[in-house]
Structures are given as structure tokens and as C-alpha cells.
């Protein structure tokens, strides 16, 4: 990741095809062939922009040696890759040498199969997108281990994304820092993260874990929602790719992605998902419901986001739901997701969408909203579902 001291340097993913084009002009065509067939065990890629696919095309692995002229090679397995040759020696106050990585989605015209990306963040399936990675780190070198989540104002499949680049740093070794400057600390995905922000023609928001780890599993929306509430991203934008890999400054040999996964709708993205109904929301039944509500918020001075989970603790399905609650003082909902939310005075009403109207016994639905507060930001004490008071968790 490029630090603030070098604002004119190109970031790990920027202008990839532009630089590749310059390479084409100065190289023999045969040396620029990019692997496109599915990877077999121990497939080795040394070509600067070389890619291949794994797991039947579900993921793309890219060498992406974008910022260095030294040779970098990756050995690709069916679940990830290892940097098998690299001897980067980049100044730590500048840009890294490369971003070898594995991804789902589309990046500079190379797309994996079945990812359903690009996907607009307003799509009901966006909130279900999850990813995980498990890595191995070498004992030497200067590098970060990071995700790249790319967003664009349009459903772009090629070229440079111009919306937001959200980076999730699992680990950093050496005196390196993200683009821009540190703006906050936040708790997300069960951990504490430094928040950094900069702009290189698009917004770069980096979340640096304060305690390094070699594995993580998270919902993409957790980091995206935080970027939206800070004004760095917009819900009308499209997620184009989910990438995991490394940015090496010094060395690099031994950096390994052991396993990478991406899912949407709670299942393998290559499996067909059930159709989403577009009928109007069902009217809440006149009877009550046995329920439990969990209310979790993340707040900052004058603003907050809240996630609400409604669980059906009864023995029959709830077909159509209407949840009401009252803020204790000074809160106002500004926007929401996964429910139609209205507010009258201090009373808030959330009604199901067409795709989450039914809650089976023991099942649950979740929705969320962003709001403002003055004075204090206490939690609502009582929740009522279809006229019946719920337990709180």
C-alpha cells in the first residue's frame, strides 16, 4: 500500500492494463501470453500479468507483479497459491512491488465464473456476501496481507474502478502504512481496526487490524457499511471483485494463500439461488408472534448505525412482520436496508421486504439503519412484533 509520503505513485491495482499495454509494446508477444486454462497442481506463473483459474473457474489467481521489474513467480494450487520466487526491494516510503492474489468477480476484463458480480450494494443478495481466507507468512520480508474490495459507480468488468477500494489488512510487517492518513479506530468483524483514508482518483479506505491474524471470515457489508457512514462510499455503487493476497515491499518468497472462499446467498456462488419474489410485502397477520430481538449499534459523535435481528421463537411461521420500537431520546433514522423503515416522533416502524416476509420457527431476519442522535444514544427498551411484545437479547 502506498503511504501518504508518496502521493503520486501508482497503487497495487491501479492502471494494471495500462502498464500491461506498455509491456506489450516493449516485449516479444510470446512472452506475454497469459494463462487462462484451469490450474492444475503446482502450476507455476512467472509472467508479469499472468493469471489462471482454480476450482473450475470459480476463482482467478493473478501474479500481478505490477510495481517491479524483478521476476516474481507464484505456484498455484487448487485452493490458493504460494509466492515461490520474489526478491523485491522497494523503499518502504513508496509503493509495493506487486499484489499476487486470488479473487472472485471481475478485474480488468478477467472474470471468475458464477460470482454474480458486479452487484449493486442495494441488491438484497449483497448483504449475504461472505468471504474467508487462511494464509501462511514467511519469517522475513516487508509486506502486508490484505483484502481488496473494489467498488465502482457502474457495473464495470474492465478497466480501473473509480468508486472505492476497501482494503482489509490482516497483517503488516515492516515500517509500511496505508494510503492517506489514519482517521479513526473501529470495532468490526469481532476485532479492532485502525481506519485510514486517502484518495488516488478513487477513495481508498484501509482497515488495519491492531492484532495481526493469519485467517479471517467476514461479511463484505460489515466494512462497506462503515465506509458508507463515513461518506467514503455510496450504496448505489457496485461491488466488482473480492480479492485476497499480499503487497510485498521487500522479499516476498513464501507468502501463501492456503485457502480462499467466497459465497453469496449462503451458498456456493456457482449454485443457482432460489428466485426472489417481486410481489408487494405481505400484510402483517392480525395475531401476535413469539419473538426475540437483538439490537446492536456502532456509534460515533452525532451518528450511528444499528443492526436488528428478529428471531421467531414460536412454533409456527410468521408470514409478514411489522416491528415497532421507541427511541429513548434524540435519535432520528436517516436511511435503512432490508426493511421499509418509517419514524413518527420517537416511534420507529420497520416492515418486511418482499424477500424476507416469512420467518420460520427458530429462524430469524435482520435489517439495519443509519441514524443521528443528540444528547444521548440509548438503546430502545421495548420491541413489538405484529402487536406482541418481544424478548430482548
Q: pLDDT of 331-352, one tens digit each? A: 999 888 888 898 888 889 999 9
Cell numbers at residue 89, please?
Answer: 526491494
- Residue 244 backbone phi and psi in degrees, to 5: -135, 130
CB neighbour list of residue 96: distance below 8 Å, 6 or more residues apart: 1, 2, 12, 67, 88, 90, 143, 144, 176, 247, 248, 249
Percentage above 70 pLDDT, the chain: 84
Instruction: Give residue 122's pLDDT band: very low, low, confident or very high (50, 70, 90).
Output: very high
Catalytic-labelled residue, pool 165, 194, 222, 299: 165
pLDDT (0 to 100) of residue 15? 41
CA pseudo-torsion sign 48, 106, 147, 36: negative
pLDDT (0 to 100) of residue 381? 82
CB 355 within 8 A of CB 124: yes
Cell 463484505 locates to 220
Cell numbers at residue 73, please?
Answer: 513467480
Rg (CA), the chain: 23
CB 80 within 8 A of CB 132: no
pLDDT (0 to 100) of residue 289? 60
Q: How far apart are the first and last CA of the chain?
A: 41
pLDDT (0 to 100) of residue 335? 84
Indicate the range of 26-35, 36-45, 257-266, 314-323 predicted with least confidence. Answer: 26-35
Cell 481488496 locates to 148
Residues of the chain with CATH 2.60.120.180: 16-263
Query: Which helix (DSSP H) or strand (DSSP E) does residue 89 occupy?
Result: strand 87-89
Active-site residue flag, 259: no
Instruction: Give residue 267's pLDDT band: very low, low, confident or very high (50, 70, 90).
Output: low
For residues 324 and 384, what is the distance between their CA atoms, to the nearest angstrom?
A: 5
pLDDT (0 to 100) of residue 280? 39
The mean pLDDT value for 130-147 works out to: 97
pLDDT digits (tens, 9 = 90+) for 37-80: 444 457 999 999 999 999 999 999 999 999 999 999 999 999 99
Query: Which helix (DSSP H) or strand (DSSP E) does residue 74 occupy?
Result: strand 73-76
pLDDT digits (tens, 9 = 90+) for 88-111: 999 999 999 999 999 999 999 999
Catalytic-labelled residue, pool 47, 222, 247, 271: 247
Residue 238 DSSP SS3 = strand
CB 226 within 8 A of CB 140: no
Instruction: Give residue 113's pLDDT band: very low, low, confident or very high (50, 70, 90).
Output: very high
Residues of the chain with CATH 2.60.40.290: 291-392
Give me the architecture of the 16-263 domain, per CATH. Answer: Sandwich (2.60)
Instruction: Give residue 216's pLDDT band: very low, low, confident or very high (50, 70, 90).
Output: very high
3-state helix, strand, coil in the chain (%, to 5): 10, 45, 45
pLDDT (0 to 100) of residue 152? 96
CB 59 within 8 A of CB 243: no
pLDDT digits (tens, 9 = 90+) for 186-213: 999 999 999 999 999 999 999 999 999 9
Instruction: Give residue 288's pLDDT band: very low, low, confident or very high (50, 70, 90).
Output: very low
Cell numbers at residue 375, please?
Answer: 444528547
CB 68 within 8 A of CB 228: no
Task: Select the CATH number that applies to the domain covering 291-392 from these four: 2.60.40.290, 1.20.140.10, 1.10.1040.10, 3.30.530.20.
Answer: 2.60.40.290
Active-site residue flag, 222: no
- Cα dist. 92→70, 108, 393 in Å? 17, 27, 47
pLDDT (0 to 100) of residue 138? 96
Cell numbers at residue 180, please?
Answer: 492517506
Q: Kindly report the pTM of this predicted structure.
A: 0.63
Nearest residue to 4 (alpha-carbon basis) of 164, 166, 167, 179: 179
Amino acid at each position: 500500500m502506498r503511504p501518504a509520503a508518496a502521493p503520486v505513485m501508482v497503487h497495487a491495482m491501479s492502471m494494471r492494463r495500462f502498464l500491461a499495454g506498455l509491456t506489450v509494446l516493449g516485449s516479444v508477444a510470446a512472452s506475454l501470453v497469459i494463462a487462462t486454462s484451469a490450474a492444475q497442481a503446482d502450476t507455476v506463473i512467472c509472467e508479469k500479468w499472468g493469471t489462471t483459474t482454480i476450482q473450475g473457474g470459480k476463482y482467478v489467481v493473478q501474479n500481478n507483479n505490477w510495481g517491479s521489474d524483478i521476476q516474481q513467480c507464484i505456484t498455484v494450487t487448487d485452493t490458493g497459491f504460494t509466492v515461490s520466487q520474489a526478491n523485491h526491494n522497494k523503499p518502504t516510503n513508496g509503493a509495493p512491488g506487486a499484489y499476487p492474489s486470488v479473487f472472485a468477480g471481475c478485474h480488468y476484463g478477467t472474470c471468475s465464473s458464477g460470482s454474480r458480480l458486479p452487484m449493486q450494494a442495494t441488491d438484497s443478495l449483497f448483504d449475504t456476501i461472505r468471504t474467508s481466507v487462511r494464509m501462511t507468512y514467511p519469517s522475513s520480508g516487508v509486506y502486508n496481507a490484505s483484502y481488496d474490495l473494489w467498488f465502482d459507480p457502474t457495473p464495470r468488468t474492465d478497466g480501473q474502478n473509480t468508486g472505492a477500494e476497501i482494503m482489509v489488512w490482516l497483517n503488516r510487517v515492516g515500517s509500511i502504512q496505508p494510503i492517506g492518513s489514519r482517521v479513526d479506530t473501529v470495532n468490526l468483524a469481532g476485532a479492532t481496526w485502525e481506519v485510514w483514508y486517502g484518495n488516488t482518483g478513487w477513495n481508498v479506505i484501509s482497515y488495519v487490524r491492531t492484532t495481526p491474524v493469519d485467517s479471517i471470515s467476514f461479511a463484505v457489508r460489515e466494512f462497506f457499511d462503515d465506509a458508507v457512514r463515513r461518506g467514503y462510499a455510496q450504496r448505489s455503487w457496485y461491488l466488482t471483485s473480492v480479492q485476497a493476497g499480499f503487497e510485498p515491499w521487500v522479499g516476498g518468497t513464501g507468502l501463501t494463500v492456503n485457502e480462499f472462499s467466497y459465497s453469496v446467498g449462503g451458498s456456493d456462488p456457482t449454485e443457482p439461488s432460489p428466485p426472489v419474489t417481486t410481489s408487494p410485502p405481505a400484510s402483517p397477520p392480525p395475531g401476535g408472534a413469539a419473538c426475540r430481538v437483538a439490537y446492536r449499534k456502532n456509534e460515533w459523535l452525532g451518528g450511528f448505525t444499528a443492526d436488528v435481528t428478529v428471531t421467531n421463537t414460536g412454533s409456527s411461521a410468521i408470514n409478514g412482520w411489522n416491528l415497532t420500537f421507541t427511541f429513548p431520546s434524540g435519535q432520528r433514522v436517516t436511511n435503512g436496508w432490508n426493511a421499509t423503515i418509517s419514524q413518527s416522533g420517537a416511534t420507529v416502524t420497520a416492515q418486511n421486504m418482499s424477500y424476507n416476509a416469512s420467518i420460520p420457527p427458530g429462524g430469524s431476519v435482520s435489517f439495519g439503519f443509519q441514524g443521528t442522535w443528540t444528547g444521548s444514544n440509548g438503546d430502545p427498551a421495548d420491541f413489538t412484533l405484529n402487536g406482541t411484545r418481544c424478548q430482548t437479547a
